[in-house]
Structures are given as structure tokens and as C-alpha cells.
Structure 1
């Protein structure tokens, strides 16, 4: 009963008192606090990040997408959309040629001057900035409102919310395992606080050993990882084996690390934890399962 009550309260807040104010005249407040005015339902949308492209497909408005950034390869159908450069290097001439009536951008990644230039060209730009699992759900809800009334959106969002709440309510490993997440091989990089990765690790029941870092994605030394003694190591990779196997072999040299002793070194698909999309919930469920293995070996599954 208590879990159902918590879920009900969250959904009530989500659908009735969401953090970005929207009024009936089509004025939407984005993550930068800007008021974005839409005169009509947008029918020519440009996505400024792969994560945004995924969300738009999740909302089933792919027919209204006229441009996407590079690496917008999920779902596979997104590959056929016209490309407007990378999310950090937008080809403004290409964007303007597509005649968008809405651009959806991200605070982290897209250069601020691009948003300013589009404002000057009187093209509406709605900026998002989800940094946690709950914020992903809220962002999806807000994008659904910006692009127009959509069928069955609420049921999709409820299902995502239920999956997150289920992991929050399940038993967690005890004691809490110390987790090291490697997101780059050379130099070795990890994640600090105020990142989606940090939230996923925490909700799944782990403790990020670099959660004290004020830098979102710090470079760190092998010696520092050894000193912090992680119980579990996750290696984020887009490859099913190659890079993961190379990185795993490097860590296996350091048998003083608890994760090495227990062979708890796992690969995680970077798309599932790097991108603030519905698939981040898949990443959460995977991380949870790996943390609950309690020392069992499970490489790359």
C-alpha cells in the first residue's frame, strides 16, 4: 500500500504540477527559464541531440522530424533523417534550410550561441536538461506537451515511472557496494555528482566511489581507483566485446581491488546510461541486476 501511495503521489505531481509551467496560449517555459511561444502545433521539428531524437520516436512523432544530429541511430529508422551536424557543432545553414517550426535542444552539449542565433531568426527553441531518471520522465512529459496532444502518452509515461519505482522499492545489496564506472579507456574517465550515471548507480543500490567529484566527468588515475577499492566495476562501451575485453584485462592485473578478486567487472551499453532517454530505465534495471549478483561472474550479458 505504501509503495502504491508513493507512486500515485509521484504521478499526480507529474501530470498536474510539473516543474515547467505551460499555459493554454502555447507558451512553454523550458529548462533555461525561457518562454517559448508556439502559435501552432509544430510539424517540422529539428532535434539537436540523439537523446532528443529517441524521445521523439518514443512519442511516435517521427513523421514530424525533419532533421537530427549525427549519432542519432536509435531507433534504426532515425538513420534516414537529414543530418544537421553534431550536437556540439550544429550546421546552422542546414538547420535553416529545413524550415523548422520547432527546435528541441539540450543545455548540456549544444552551444548557447546556437540557441541565441535561432532566437534571432524567430525559430522557437525548447531547451531540456534532464539529469536524473525522474527528470527524464518529466522531460518526456513536457516534450509531449510542446509537440502537441498525443494519444496514449500518459500510459507510456506511467509504465516508465512504474519501472523506476519498482527498482526503488526492491531490496538492495547489503552492504552497499562501492561502484566504479569507467566511461573512457585512455585517459581513464569516470562520473561525478550531478550526472545521470550517478543517479542510476544510486537508485540501483550502489555507491559511486567518485560521487565527491565536482567535475561531472573527471579524469582519474588507476592508483586512485585502487585506493578507493571498488566492489564492482562497470565499463561503459558501445562495443559488445573489443574495448570491454581490453579494459577488463587491464583491471585484472590489480588483484588488490575487491571487484577484481570477485570477478565483478561488467560491461554496460553506453547508450543505456549516457543518454537521458526511456532506455535509461533499461540501464537502471541492468545495473541493479549486476549489483545483486553478489559475486557471480557475468561478463557482457
Structure 2
């Protein structure tokens, strides 16, 4: 059988089959209060602006499961069981607070050196407890029953289940509020919004007849329909998702894709077949009759970094830019 990156496999099986919801997260209160200098000697002293946006503790938040959790102070020992959320933590300057990560966390480089606590779906409970965390973060692949089991061990666990890009940015802001990194979170989200604007403005003048039909295969034999952030990225990039008449994560129909005849095929780089050693690009091109698809005939088949493309984290807008550049290279200069 094909061996895929475990995170993407979980993305398909857990989200697609379990139907994760897009419950929003809220936090209260968030009144401004003075903030002392950061404890890390490497961190610069806070500016007047960042001090004004400091979190006022205690703070109570509600996560994707609907659970309310109160923090009396900013967490000092964080275990992240999800690559996307790990990327958020490091992007907010919290790498020194991260004491352990999942087996599949590989970005940024510093994350690779952190102790490991198992998989993204069912992390190792004993390993997590051994790090004495005051916050455990779970991602899109963690099942609710696993969350409840960890909470029964008296662990503070929050999870995120983003459906659209706004959810991803909201999650960054919430982590910033919990960890007293409000200014950093706002700056990161502002950059992500600027990335989105750069892309959407570049494609906004496309006429309906100029919009290209796009087929995305983010894992071998799987594509995405409406209601998920990958479908949203295709739309933001000015494309027409040929699987938009479906919902969620779906196994592909080779016949349907032939009939739709996409102008562009996008796929996630980095996957190979165990038995044949073929890349996903080679598998796509060899499918019966697919050599007649316009995208393949005109060599409009592009591989995108699978982590940047599929992780609902701070690099998702980089994935959007790369997608738009593949579909409309003349507009993304």
C-alpha cells in the first residue's frame, strides 16, 4: 500500500470520515494591563505598544470542543501534538516554551530537536505527562475522545479544528492571547492578510472565461471539495476547483476528472509509492486516459510543498501564493 506522510493521512481519515466541525474559539476577558519584561534573556524588552496589548490574567477561553479553560498566567511549558500548531508557536517566538512536539513536527528546524510525544491522532500520554506541561495543544487530527482522556489526566488541553483560512488566523490570535504574545500574533496575522491581498488583487481582474479549472491532489487518490481551506485557497488564487461540487475530503473519481478536463493539475510533492518508487506526479500522468487531459497535454502539472500546502498554520498564505503562481504565473511576478 502507499505510504504517505502520516499527517496528511490523518488529515484525510480523521477529518474526512469523522467530519470535524469548524467551531470557533473565543476568549474573555482581554483587558489591557501592564506587562513586565519577558523572562527570556534573549527576548527584547517590550515596547509601549506591546505592553498595552498584554493579556490580563486570569483568562478563560473556549476551544474547538466547546470546553472552557482558564489560565491564571501565561503557559511556561507547552506540548504541541500537531505540526501546524507547532509552527504557530515558533512563529510567535515561543520556541523556548515548547518542551515537546509530535513525531511529525519538522518545521522550523529547531522543532526537530524537541523531545517527541508520539503521533498527531493519539499521542503518548505518558510521554506528555513526563514533560509536566501547563498547556497541551492538539490539532485538526486529534479525536475528541483523545482530548477528553488527556483532560481526565488533569492536563490543560486545547484543540483547533480550522475549516477556512480565517479560522487559522483566529487560532493564531487566540494562542497569542493565551501566551501573552498578542502583538506578535497580530503582526503575524497582518502579514498573512497582506499575502492574501497580494494574491487576490493579482487575480481579481480575471474574466470568467479566463479562470482556469484546477484539480488538486493533496495525497495520492484524494482531493478536496467545498467547505475546507484548500478549496478556499483555490478560489482565492482565482481558480475553479473541479471538485467544488463535493464537500470535504474525497477519494478521487478518475472518470470525473477526465470529464472535467482541468486546465491545471496541482499535487503535493514528496510522496512515493512503496512498491514502484513512483512519485505522485508519475502516478497522475500514468492513469488510464489521463494523457488526454488538457493540463497533462500542455504540461500544466505542478508540485507544491505538501507541508506548506496542507498544514493549517502560519505558512498557509505562502501555500496560497505558490498555488496562484502555478495557475497564473504571468500575474504573480
Verify same fold: TM over 0.5. yes
* 1:267 and 2:267 are equivalent in the alignment: no
SS in 1 for 2:159: strand
Q: Map 1:127-206 to 2 at 5 A.
A: 127-149=159-181, 152-172=184-204, 173-174=206-207, 175=209, 176-185=211-220, 188-206=221-239
Q: Unaligned regions of 5+ residues in structure 2, if any?
A: 1-23, 30-55
Q: Alpha-carbon deviations, 1:103-122, whole Å to 9, x = none?
A: 1112x311212211222222
SS in 1 for 2:111: helix
Aligned residues: 273
* 1:213 and 2:246 are equivalent in the alignment: yes
Q: Unaligned regions of 5+ residues in structure 1, if any?
A: 1-17, 295-301
Partners of 1:144 and 1:118 in 2: how far apart?
23
Change (3 A) 1:251 1:289: farther
State the TM-score, normalizing by the size of structure 1. 0.84
Cross-structure match for 1:230: 262
Contact residue 192 and residue 217 of structure 1 kept, 8 A: yes
Q: Map 1:39-188 to 2 at 5 A.
A: 39-106=72-139, 108-149=140-181, 152-172=184-204, 173-174=206-207, 175=209, 176-185=211-220, 188=221
Partners of 1:165 and 1:33 in 2: how far apart?
32
Q: Alpha-carbon deviations, 1:27-58, whole Å to 9, x = none?
A: 11212222111122110101020111111000
SS in 2 for 1:212: coil
Displacement of 1:234 in angstroms is 0.6
Partners of 1:164 and 1:112 in 2: how far apart?
31
Displacement of 1:245 in angstroms is 4.1
Partners of 1:62 and 1:248 in 2: how far apart?
39
Partners of 2:203 and 2:241 in 1: how far apart?
18
Change (3 A) 1:99 1:19: closer
Change (3 A) 1:254 1:153: closer
Contact residue 28 and residue 60 of structure 2 kept, 8 A: yes
Bigger RCO of structures 1 and 2 (CA < 8 A, at least 6 apart): 2
* 1:22 and 2:20 are equivalent in the alignment: no
